[in-house]
């Protein structure tokens, strides 16, 4: 009877010890020489198991030790986890408890562990599934911590594919997966970025418009034959290419969306425009100082001038008005060519910093429109009582340029932490429609019916409408530096430059060669002498800084 009692006590003690060992295994899985199924573990001289059951170990292995996690607890896998790669091995997932711990290689029992991807090899590994954690630690929008593994480039860039959510949380987004965690994608997304809208302020400078000398002045005492005549006269307006060289203010709006069907494809719309620029010049005189409008007289072959104000002869005023307005729009498709990412450590706070780079190809349609005009108006009154009279003379030059073409280009995007740097190069090739209208009129007296012809706009010489199509090229370059303010908002500051070939501008269409016999009222039978009028093309560009804000959803 005593022997039976002793045997029962020993059996109860053994069962209690086994239960305590199972509970203890929840905290240390390698403290015993037995595995989850109470089978003896391999000795220190055991061979390295295959990475997957029935699959030879790859020839090339990224072998390195897991980093230390001395200040953190072991990483636990969710209960019920089974690695299908071990189902047929001697140490398959079926031999592990639901509460089995997944530890890193920093454990003292794991010295010499060789890691390949997310599996462990080595004499100390014992077939455990190890999720190595020497990559940077990431934080999502809710603040919980996750550990990501190797950072690889995409296949198209020669790597193994973007394999993690490297999004620079909490304020970044995954460049490699802009459309989100959609079916068929192996990348996760930490910021919804299915679409975006940005609004930028544009502070640009345009190439100046060339304007010949239009208004001159001479000191009192100058003879009538030399008054206002170049080169001796002073130029009050024109004679340079400084028109419209001041900063122009505009706005640019971009709206885009990534496809839910083809995640690597997106579409973007863009518009930018400026307020109409205007420049004006006004001068008036009762006769002193002397005012005039210079020109080249092809009858005499000498420089000449039309008087606006001269002592005891004429009083008058002259006004020059110039306007310019630029608008543009584009619709383009975007395709992700390749992307890559890697992790690094910030020297400021010793925290993780994710860096991502991506290259997109763009293809679309570009529209640009430039409308400009220049008008010169004179109002003259005779000071000679024996020859009274008045004149209202007007010359008008209006141009309109419209470009439609195919746009193609590339865009490079780089993210590092909260900062971003983008660069884009695009070229558009298409048709530039060139439209020019030259008008001139003279009224004498000022309230009389208008006669065709002014001073620089003459019938039979250049008055008329010109409309034609020419080949046009519009390259664009831009770069932007951005800073992520919140999960969805980003501030940006950058530079942009746009060039446009074969453009008509009003100042370049002014020919100061004048046949005085064609001035209204024209001498009957008079024909223009000299070279015929020809339309002049120039190049146009704008460049400057941008500042804006972007919102993603």
Residues 129 and 231 in one domain: no
Q: For residues 530 and 515, give the distance between their C-alpha atoms in angstroms, rounded to a whole number.
A: 9
Q: Which residues are CB-neighbours of 480 under 8 A, at least 6 positions away? A: 420, 421, 422, 423, 492, 493, 494, 546
Number of domains in the chain: 2
Using the structure block, give the residue that is written with the tokens 């070279």: 531
78 Rama class: left (phi>0) / alpha (psi -120 to 50) / beta: beta
Do 503 and 420 fall within a single domain?
yes
Listed residues 86, 103, 134: the one ending a domain: 134
Q: Are residues 259 and 361 in the same domain?
A: yes
pLDDT tens digit string along 183-198?
A: 333 233 333 357 899 9
Q: What are the tens digits of pLDDT across the range 131-168?
A: 222 223 233 333 323 333 333 333 333 333 333 333 33
Res 540: pLDDT = 96
> Which two tokens mark 202?
């544009």
pLDDT at 139: 33
pLDDT at 532: 85
One domain for residues 117 and 224: no
Residue 527 has pLDDT above 90, yes or no: no
Neighbours of 335 (CB within 10 A): 14
Residue 183 has what pLDDT? 37
User: Per-residue confidence at 289, pLDDT binned at 50, 70, 90?
Assistant: very high
Give the structural domain span for 328: 195-552
In a domain, residue 51? The reply is: yes
Round to whole Å and give the CA distance between 397 and 135: 67
164 located within any domain: no
Phi, psi dihedrals of residue 260, rounded to the nearest 5°? -85, -20
Would you say 258 and 316 are in contact if contact means Cβ atoms under 8 Å apart?
Answer: no
Paired tokens of 313: 């002869």
Give the residue with greater pLDDT, 228 vs 486.
228
22: closest CA among 12, 35, 40, 10?
35
Q: Are residues 334 and 431 in the same domain?
A: yes
Whether residue 490 lies inside any domain: the answer is: yes
Q: pLDDT per residue over 219-262, tens digit each? A: 999 999 999 999 999 999 999 888 898 899 999 999 998 887 77
Identify the weakest region by mean pLDDT among 122-126, 136-140, 493-497. Answer: 136-140
Q: Closest Cα partner for 164 from 338, 357, 341, 358? A: 341
The yes-or-no verdict on residue 525 having pLDDT over 80 is no
Please answer whether residues 502 and 470 qualify as being in contact, where contact means their C-beta atoms are separated by less than 8 angstroms: yes
- Residue 348 pLDDT class (50, 70, 90 cuts): low
Return d(Cα 543, Cα 535) in angstroms, integer: 26
Give yes or no for a cis peptide into 314 (omega within 30° of 0).
Answer: no
Distance CA 343, CA 132 (A): 15
Same domain, 425 and 533: yes
Does residue 106 sit in the same domain as residue 203?
Answer: no
| 79-99 burial code (b ≥16 CB/10 A, e <16) | eeeebebbeebebbbebbeee
Q: Both 388 and 500 in a single domain?
A: yes
64 or 240, higher pLDDT: 240
- In angstroms, the CA 501 to CA 331 distance is 21
Helix (H) or strand (E) holding 3: helix 2-24
Residue 288 lies in a domain: yes
The Cα-based distances of 186 to 52, 176, 289 in angstroms read 21, 10, 80
Residues 436 and 362 grouped into a single domain: yes
Tell me: do 343 and 473 sit in the same domain: yes
The reply to whether 9 falls in a domain is no
- Give the count of beta carbons closer than 10 Å to the beta carbon of residue 421: 15
Give pLDDT tens digits for 444-469. Answer: 998 899 999 999 999 988 999 999 99
Helices and strands in the chain: count of H runs, count of E runs: 1, 23
Last-in-domain residue among 84, 100, 134: 134
- State the pLDDT at residue 464: 95
8 A C-beta contact, residue 536 and residue 514: no
Q: Which of 295, 150, 304, 291 is nearest to 234 (CA)?
A: 291
84-108 average pLDDT score = 41
Strands 290-297 vs 513-514: parallel, antiparallel or unpaired: parallel
Q: Which residues pair with 372 in a beta bridge?
A: 324, 399
Token duo for residue 440? 């001139």
Report how far residue 477's alpha carbon sits from residue 329's, in angstroms, rounded to the nearest whole number.
16
Domain C-terminal end among 90, 110, 134? 134
378 assigned to some structural domain: yes
The verdict on 249 and 355 lying in the same domain is: yes
Three-state DSSP state, 10: helix
* Strand partners for 247: 205
Domain membership of residue 233 (yes or no) is: yes
Closest CA to 148 of 170, 125, 167: 167
311, part of any domain? yes
CA angle 148, 153, 155 (to 5 degrees): 125
The verdict on 315 and 394 lying in the same domain is: yes
What CA–CA distance (Å, rounded) separates 148 from 133? Answer: 7
Beta carbons of 105 and 65 less than 8 angstroms apart: yes
Confidence of residue 92 (pLDDT cuts 50, 70, 90): very low
539: confidence class by pLDDT, cuts 50, 70, 90? very high
């Amino acid at each position: 009877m005593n022997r039976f009692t002793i045997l029962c006590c020993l059996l109860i003690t053994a069962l209690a010890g086994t239960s305590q060992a199972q509970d203890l295994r929840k905290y240390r899985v390698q403290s015993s020489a037995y595995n989850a199924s109470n089978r003896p573990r391999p000795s220190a001289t055991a061979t390295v198991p295959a990475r997957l059951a029935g699959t030879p170990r790859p020839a090339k292995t990224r072998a390195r030790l897991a980093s230390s996690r001395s200040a953190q607890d072991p990483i636990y896998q969710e209960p019920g986890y089974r690695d299908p790669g071990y189902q047929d091995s001697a140490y398959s997932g079926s031999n592990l408890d639901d509460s089995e711990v997944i530890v890193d290689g920093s454990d003292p029992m794991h010295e010499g562990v060789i890691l390949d991807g997310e599996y462990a090899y080595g004499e100390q590994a014992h077939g455990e599934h190890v999720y190595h954690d020497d990559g940077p630690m990431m934080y999502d929008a809710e603040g919980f911590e996750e550990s990501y593994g190797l950072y690889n480039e995409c296949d198209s860039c020669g790597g193994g594919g973007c394999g993690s959510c490297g999004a620079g949380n909490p304020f970044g987004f995954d460049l490699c997966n802009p459309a989100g965690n959609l079916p068929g994608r192996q990348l996760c997304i930490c910021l919804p970025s299915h679409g975006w809208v940005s609004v930028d302020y544009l502070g640009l400078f345009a190439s100046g418009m060339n304007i010949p000398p239009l208004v001159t002045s001479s000191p009192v005492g100058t003879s009538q034959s030399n008054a206002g005549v170049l080169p001796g006269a002073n130029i009050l307006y024109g004679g340079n290419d400084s028109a419209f060289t001041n900063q122009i203010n505009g706005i640019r709006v971009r709206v885009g969306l990534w496809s839910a069907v083809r995640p690597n494809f997106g579409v973007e719309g863009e518009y930018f425009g400026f307020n109409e620029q205007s420049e004006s010049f006004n001068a008036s005189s009762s006769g002193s100082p002397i005012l005039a409008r210079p020109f080249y007289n092809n009858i005499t072959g000498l420089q000449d001038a039309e008087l606006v104000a001269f002592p005891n002869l004429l009083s008058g005023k002259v006004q020059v008005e110039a306007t310019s307005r630029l608008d543009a729009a584009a619709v383009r498709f975007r395709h992700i060519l390749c992307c890559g990412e890697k992790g690094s450590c910030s020297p400021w706070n010793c925290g993780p910093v994710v860096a991502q780079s991506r290259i997109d190809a763009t293809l679309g349609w570009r529209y640009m429109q430039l409308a400009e005009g220049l008008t010169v108006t004179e109002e003259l009154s005779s000071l000679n009582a024996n020859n009274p009279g008045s004149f209202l003379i007007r010359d008008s030059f209006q141009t309109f340029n419209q470009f439609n073409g195919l746009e193609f280009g590339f865009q490079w995007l780089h993210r590092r932490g909260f900062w971003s740097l983008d660069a884009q190069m695009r070229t558009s090739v298409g048709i530039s429609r060139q439209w020019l209208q030259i008008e001139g009129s003279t009224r004498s007296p000022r309230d009389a019916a208008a006669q065709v012809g002014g001073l620089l706009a003459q019938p039979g010489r250049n008055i008329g409408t010109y409309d034609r199509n020419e080949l046009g090229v519009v390259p664009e370059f831009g770069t932007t530096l951005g800073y992520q303010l919140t999960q969805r908002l980003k501030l940006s500051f950058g530079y942009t430059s746009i060039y446009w070939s074969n453009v008509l501008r009003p100042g370049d269409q002014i020919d100061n060669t004048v046949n005085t016999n064609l001035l209204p009222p024209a001498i009957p039978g008079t024909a223009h002498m000299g070279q015929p009028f020809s339309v002049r093309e120039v190049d146009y560009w704008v460049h400057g800084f941008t500042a804006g804000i972007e919102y993603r959803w």
